Amino acid sequence: MAKDRVTVIDIARAAGVSKSTVSLVLQASPLVNEVTRAKVNAVIRDLGYVYNRGAANLRQSNSKSKIIGIVVNDLTNSFFAELAVGVDMVVQSAGYVQFLANTAESVDRQREVIASMREHGISGLILSPARGTDAADLKPLVASGIPVVNVVRQVAGAKVSSLISDNHAGMRDAVRHLVGLGHHRIAFLGGFPDTAVFNERLQGYRDALSDVDLAVHDELVVSSAPSRAGGVAAIERALLLRERPTAAVCFNDAVAFGVCDGLRAHRLDPGEDFAVIGFDDVIEAQTAVPALTTISVDPQGMGRRAAQLLLKQINAGRADAEAIVSSVRLVVRQSCGAAIDKRERLSLL
C-alpha cells in the first residue's frame, strides 16, 4: 500500500487499539497513557503515515454546524432509546444529525467516543455520564467552547448544563402511595450506590418512611445493577429475609420488570401478592402484565428538553451552564395492587 494511502484504521489495526485512541494520539491528548502513545507512534513511523491537520481542521469546521453527539451509559435500557428519540425529534427539525454512542458504564470508552465525536466536529454534546465520570473528563469540551448538557446524571464541579428528574420527590411519592395502600415493610430495590441518582432516590425513600413514622431497615435496601437481571437478583435477596417485604419501590422500570419476573418465579403475582412500583415510565410500562405503576419521567420529553437547551446554547454562541430539575408524577396502574380510581388515597397522607 502506498504511504499516502495509509489510514487511521490501518494504524489502529497494526497497533491493536481503537481508531479513537489513534485519533487521541494524533491530537496529543493527555488521555492516552505513555505506553499506548509510544506503541501508536511507532506504528505511525513504520507505516509512514502523515497527519494532515489542516484537512482535519477544515473537515471539522465544515461539519460543526450539522452534528450533535449523544452519549449514554446504557443503551440496553429502553429509557435511553426513548430519550434519543426525543433528542432526534428536535435536532432533526433544526437541520442537525445526531451521532449516538453507548459507553456501557466505561469511562475509558466514554473518553474515546467523545474524542472521536470531537474529531468529526460536533456542535454540542448531550451526555448521560458513565459511572466514575468527573469534572476533569469534561474540561477539554468546556475549554474548547463545545456546549454540553448532562442528562439523568450530574457531574460534580463540571461547568456544564444539566437536566435531571426530581428523583427525591418521585421516590417519596411512590413510597407514600404504598403506605396509603397499607404497606409498612417496603423495600428499595436496584441501582448502583455510587451514583447521585441512587442516593437522591434512596433519600426520598427514607424521608417518606420517616414522614409516617415507619422505621428505615437497612436490610430492605438492596442494590443491584439497574437492569432487568439486576431486578431479579434484588428480589431474590429480598425474599430471603426472615421478615419479607410486602412491596417494593424500584430504582427504575428495568429493575421493576425484573422484580416482577423474580416474583413469578416464586409463584407470587405482582400486584396481588406483592406491590411493585418502578421509576421512568418507559413505553413498555403501559403494556406489561401487570401494567407497571411507576414514576413518570417522560424520557422522550427529557430528550426534547435537553436538545432544546443544547441548541439554545449553540445558537447563542456560548455555553452558559444551566441546571434544570424536571418534575415527575406518579402513574398508578396494576402492579401496585391499586385500581386507578384509588389514586386519591395519596391526598389523605
**For residues 178-205, average pLDDT:** 97
Residue 265 lies in a domain: yes
| Pairing verdict, β 275-280 and 293-296 | parallel
Residue 191 lies in a domain: yes
pLDDT tens digit sequence for 271-319: 999 999 999 999 999 999 999 999 999 999 999 999 999 999 998 887 7
> Domain ends where: 33, 51, 69?
51
**For residues 179-192, average pLDDT:** 97
Domain with residue 14: its CATH number is 1.10.260.40
Residue 312 lies in a domain: no
pLDDT at site 55: 53
Residue 63 lies in a domain: no
Name which of 41-50, 192-201, 285-294 the model is least confident about.
41-50
Contact 74/80 with Cβ under 8 angstroms?
yes
Domain count across the chain: 2
| DSSP-assigned letter for residue 248 | E
pLDDT tens digit sequence for 212-255: 999 999 999 999 999 999 999 999 999 999 999 999 999 999 99
pLDDT at site 119: 81
Residues 46 and 173 in one domain: no
Q: What is the dihedral of CA 278, 282, 287, 288, to 10 degrees?
A: -40
pLDDT at site 170: 98
**For residues 317-331, average pLDDT:** 91
Residues 172 and 37 in one domain: no
Characterize 124-145 residue by residue with b for buried, 16 or more Cβ atoms within 10 angstroms of its Cβ, and e for exposed. bbbbbbbeebeeebbebbbeee
Residues 220 and 344 in one domain: yes
Residue 137 grid cell: 473528563
Q: How far is CA 189 from the centre of its chain?
A: 18
Residues 185 and 333 in one domain: yes
pLDDT tens digit sequence for 107-159: 999 999 998 898 888 999 999 999 999 999 998 888 888 999 999 999 999 99
pLDDT at site 1: 37
Domain with residue 244: its CATH number is 3.40.50.2300
Residue 58 lies in a domain: no
Mean of per-residue pLDDT scores for the chain: 90
Residue 342 lies in a domain: yes
> Domain ends where: 34, 51, 68?
51
* Domain enclosing residue 192, as ranges: 167-298+329-348
Residue 74 lies in a domain: no
Residue 143 lies in a domain: no
Q: Which residue has the cell 489542516?
A: 54
